[in-house]
Amino acid sequence: MSDNKRGLGAWLLGAALLAFMVFNGTALTARAEQAVLESADCGKCHEKQVLAIESDGGRHQTKVTCVDCHVEHRPRGKDVIPPCARCHEGRPHFSLANCLGCHSDPHMPMNLQLAADLTGPCLTCHEQQGQEFKEYPSKHSRLSCTFCHSAHGLIPECFQCHKPHVEDQTMPQCLGCHPVHQPRKIVYPMTTPRRFCVPCHAGIGELMAKTKTKHRNFTCAYCHRGDHPSMPTCRVCHGEPHGPEMIAKWPVCIDCHIDSHNLQK
């Protein structure tokens, strides 16, 4: 039998039942009390909703029943469709408009349909990420949350939208320098290999590959510590290696040592 035919059969049976209940309601009060619809009855006429809740009802299956939400039934009562606020109140998220815009089917409440340009509604639960965007404005903070998170909880790869600086760079390495919600707050560890810096500082990379002095063994990040672009002074590491008379005459170290990346002695 096709779904349609079965649906029609159930409907006819249902309509008969309902008519029965309605007519008896006025005549025989005691019988009417017994004839009050219970959740177990609903499936006879509303198979679709019952199946939906069984497959994906989540806490709308386990914490509430049909009649907790649908308190009355036409034509007897008018309180048929509940407002969400009857049960969901008291959090910023619950003051959003149009709950059904995202929770498109209350019988499958976690089946979300998200528009492509949402930010405000996300912040009702993820205040921190909104705060991160505000603290360090970047080109990412001009994007909407769902531009990157196209489904709830989905984490995009950087490579969906960017090329790496060096071919074999991995996403955890990108994140090591660019916290994704604050990509311009570039902080890296001292162990960051030189080849991550040289794509953009090729000249210095070449110098350091050739130089014969002890500086040649260091990563760039060993001297340029912490954040980009940080600039050390020689004295941070060497203190005052020469006598005070000499320094009084030539205070600038690289007047003699010429280049920190290719020292002259």
Please, which of residues 158-177 interact with ligand HEC by CB under 6 A? Answer: 158, 160-162, 164-165, 169, 173-177
From 25, 119, 185, 262, residue interacting with ligand HEC (rule: CB under 6 A):
119
User: Could you say whether residue 32 binds ligand HEC (CB under 6 A)?
Assistant: no
Cβ distance to ligand HEC smaller for residue 162 or 210: 162
β-strand pairing of 226-227 with 187-188: antiparallel
User: Could you say whether residue 44 binds ligand HEC (CB under 6 A)?
Assistant: yes
- Identify the CA nearest to 178 among candidates 139, 145, 147: 139
From 6, 31, 88, 134, residue interacting with ligand HEC (rule: CB under 6 A):
88
| 46-65 binders of ligand HEC (CB under 6 A) | 46, 49-50, 53, 58-60, 63-64
How far apart are CB 2 and ligand HEC at their closest, in Å?
19
From 7, 67, 76, 185, residue interacting with ligand HEC (rule: CB under 6 A):
67
For residues 223-245, one letter each, b for 16 or more C-beta atoms within 10 angstroms of the residue's C-beta and e for the rest, the string is bbeeeeeeeeeeeeeeeeeeeee
From 7, 32, 114, 185, residue interacting with ligand HEC (rule: CB under 6 A):
114
User: Could you say whether residue 182 binds ligand HEC (CB under 6 A)?
Assistant: no
For residues 142-180, one letter each, b for 16 or more C-beta atoms within 10 angstroms of the residue's C-beta and e for the rest, the string is eeebbebbeeeeeeeebeeeeeeeeeebeeebbebbbbb
User: Could you say whether residue 68 binds ligand HEC (CB under 6 A)?
Assistant: yes
| 187-206 binders of ligand HEC (CB under 6 A) | 188, 192, 194, 196-201, 204-205
Cβ pair 230, 222 in contact under 8 A:
no
| 127-156 binders of ligand HEC (CB under 6 A) | 129-130, 133, 138-140, 143, 145-149, 152-153, 155-156
